[in-house]
């Protein structure tokens, strides 16, 4: 059995001290009695120290015997037995230091008097605190990811299940205790017409372009991403309905390049749309009866909402859009009382944060840093990309043949961007941006025509139109309804 040389030396000293004490007691019994009577406190302290030393020696010897029997020596013990300074050895510190035994004890959790040990113990405490903080942060991140990246429920709607899914949609939004938010995204056949002439402003030109194309074209797909936010700010799992409309390439007008892009990226099955698609008129009827529109409790969200609103209003009214912007805003305010354009809101909030509260910019100001050409750019700036593979896979494969759900993905991203903007600000701030359309104007508060005697055109607009010399181009109306319009040629 290996014995520590320090322990051997201490045992020898203890034996010599005991022998000297015995000799002194035998030779001078009377003096010892006197010394005990005169110095009893000191003698009691010596006895206590000796008892402590004996107990520590016995414990240490027992530990060495048990370790030698198991033939497994811990690295800390071997380091102490090989040239460890007496100041770092708890046993020697008790024997030699006396009063410092409590400071050097490793079992009571206090710091050692040795600066090296103090530094090591402080490092261990810091590491433990850092580990606890990392674990807490990981748990918070996991909870936030689970809330933010809830796997959506995707429902494809065709002519066969149109009424059933509208009933499910009505049931989902029929909750008076929560706020309902709906993000929309549409797939259109591109831009086939550009207005000519002189226009009052850039917004007038954009509106006339929107009006001309919405009058000539029909929707291909419409996706609605619906969530509910309760009073305690709990967000429900998003449910996405993708409506696939009846679309016959031999009868519809479209932009050939844009349609080829849709066929490649979205893999839209136009042959399936021509046979199983939803008739636009039937969808408009069920939409009006569903309770989704004309309701102040429903909040609508879109990115660059001009074309979404234009095609939607034209679809619901089954007619061409009004010639003048005020009339168009009036219809938007009636159908969608609470509408938010993410392109405008994102520009205002993000630009305000980057300029340290200097305020937003005009909605018609197209700056390279603030202008977001698509919802992906806004999602990337809000750090919402990339989408986790567990969620992404739900948008790659369709349950009905092999078309990809690109429209639903854009609606989902729009809703995620709105939730992130809401988290960074508040609903009161977002309400100040309600009803403003990027690049056009605002219909907040039900803005309508100012002078009904001029068929919705104000006196300033009439004067400006006469000064320009060329009236605003209009699409022929009253000859044939939009739902029955047939566009020959099929290409532009």
| pLDDT (tens digit per residue) in 276-325 | 999 999 999 999 999 899 998 899 999 988 999 999 999 999 999 999 99
Provide the CATH number for the domain around residue 274.
3.30.420.10
Give the CA-trace dihedral at 75, 81, 85, 87, to 10 degrees: 80
Residue 144 in domain: no
Which pLDDT value is given to residue 236?
Answer: 92
Burial 399-431 (b: 16+ CB within 10 A, else e): eeeebebbbbbbbbbbbbbbbbbbeebeeeebe
Exposed/middle/buried for 206, CB within 10 Å: 0-12, 13-18, 19+? Answer: buried
> Residue 480 domain-assigned?
no
What percentage of the chain carries pLDDT values higher than 90? 34
pLDDT, position 231: 87
* Structural domain count of the chain: 1
Please report whether residue 77 resides in a domain. no
Q: Which segment of 11-20, 201-210, 231-240, 364-373 scores lowest on mean pLDDT?
A: 364-373
Token pair belonging to 428: 């009161």
Q: Which sign, positive or negative, has the C-alpha torsion 430, 431, 432, 435? A: positive
Instruction: Name the pLDDT band for 214 (thresholds 50, 70, 90).
Output: very high
Q: Is residue 282 part of a domain?
A: yes
Instruction: Evaluate whether residue 263 is within a structural domain.
Output: yes
Residue range 168-187, pLDDT digits in tens:
999 999 988 899 999 999 99
pLDDT over 70 for what percent of the chain? 65
- 298, containing H or E segment: strand 298-302
Full domain range(s) for residue 195: 153-468
* Greater pLDDT, 353 or 487: 353
In a domain, 322, yes or no: yes
In a domain, 261, yes or no: yes
Looking at residue 59, its pLDDT comes to: 74
> Residue 213 above 60 pLDDT?
yes
* Edge-to-edge order in the sheet of strand 153-157: 153-157, 239-244, 221-229, 179-187, 298-302, 338-341
Query: Residue 341, Cβ neighbours under 10 Å: how many?
Result: 27
Cβ-contact 208, 199 below 8 angstroms: yes
Q: In this predicted structure, which of 80-84, 261-265, 350-354 has the lowest mean pLDDT? A: 80-84
**Span 449-456, mean pLDDT?**
37
Query: Worst-scoring range by mean pLDDT, 268-272, 320-324, 427-431, 481-485?
Result: 481-485
Instruction: State yes or no: pLDDT of 141 exceeds 80.
Output: no
Partners of 338 in beta bridges: 299
| Tokens matching residue 160 | 């066969």
Task: State residue 351's pLDDT score.
Answer: 79
pLDDT greater at residue 391 or residue 179? 179
Least confident of 194-198, 291-295, 454-458: 454-458
- Tell whether 203 is covered by a domain: yes
């Amino acid at each position: 059995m290996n014995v520590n040389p320090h322990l051997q030396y201490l045992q020898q000293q203890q034996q010599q001290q005991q022998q000297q004490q015995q000799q002194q007691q035998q030779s001078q019994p009377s003096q010892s009695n006197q010394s005990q009577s005169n110095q009893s406190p000191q003698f009691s302290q010596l006895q206590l120290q000796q008892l402590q030393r004996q107990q520590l020696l016995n414990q240490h010897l027992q530990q060495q015997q048990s370790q030698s029997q198991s033939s497994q020596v811990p690295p800390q013990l071997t380091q102490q037995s090989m040239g460890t300074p007496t100041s770092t050895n708890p046993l020697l510190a008790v024997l030699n230091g006396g009063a410092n035994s409590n400071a050097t004890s490793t079992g009571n959790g206090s710091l050692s008097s040795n600066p090296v040990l103090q530094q090591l113990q402080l490092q261990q405490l810091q590491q433990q605190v850092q580990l606890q903080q990392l674990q807490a942060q990981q748990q918070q991140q996991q909870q936030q990811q689970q809330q933010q990246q809830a796997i959506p429920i995707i429902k494809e709607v065709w002519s066969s299940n149109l009424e059933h899914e509208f009933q499910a949609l009505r049931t989902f939004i029929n909750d008076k205790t929560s706020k309902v938010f709906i993000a929309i995204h549409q797939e259109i056949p591109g831009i086939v017409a550009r207005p000519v002439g002189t226009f009052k402003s850039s917004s007038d030109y954009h509106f006339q372009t929107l009006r001309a194309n919405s009058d000539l074209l029909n929707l291909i797909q419409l996706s609605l991403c619906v969530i509910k936010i309760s009073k305690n700010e709990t967000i429900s799992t998003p449910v996405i309905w993708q409506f696939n409309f009846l679309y016959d390439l031999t009868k519809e007008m479209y932009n050939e390049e844009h349609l080829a892009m849709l066929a490649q990226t979205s893999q839209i099955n136009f042959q399936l749309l021509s046979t199983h698609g939803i008739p636009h008129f039937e969808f408009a009827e069920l939409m009006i009866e569903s309770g989704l529109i004309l309701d102040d409790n429903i909040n609508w969200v879109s990115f660059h909402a001009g074309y979404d609103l234009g095609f939607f209003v034209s679809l619901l009214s089954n007619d061409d859009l009004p010639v003048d912007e005020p009339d168009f805003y009036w219809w938007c305010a009636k159908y969608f009382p609470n509408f938010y354009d993410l392109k405008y809101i994102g520009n205002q909030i993000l630009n305000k944060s980057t300029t340290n509260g200097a305020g937003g910019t005009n909605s018609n100001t197209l700056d390279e840093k603030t202008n977001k050409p698509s919802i992906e750019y806004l999602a990337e700036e809000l750090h919402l990309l990339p989408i986790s593979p567990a969620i992404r896979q739900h948008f790659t494969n369709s349950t009905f043949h092999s078309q990809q759900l690109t429209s639903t993905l854009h609606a989902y991203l729009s809703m995620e961007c709105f939730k992130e903007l809401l988290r960074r600000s508040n609903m009161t701030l977002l309400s100040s941006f309600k009803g403003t359309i990027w690049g056009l104007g605002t219909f907040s508060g039900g803005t309508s025509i100012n002078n009904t005697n001029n068929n919705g055109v104000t006196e300033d607009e009439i004067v400006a139109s006469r000064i320009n010399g060329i009236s605003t181009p209009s699409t022929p109306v009253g000859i044939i309804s939009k739902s029955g319009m047939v566009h020959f040629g099929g290409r532009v």
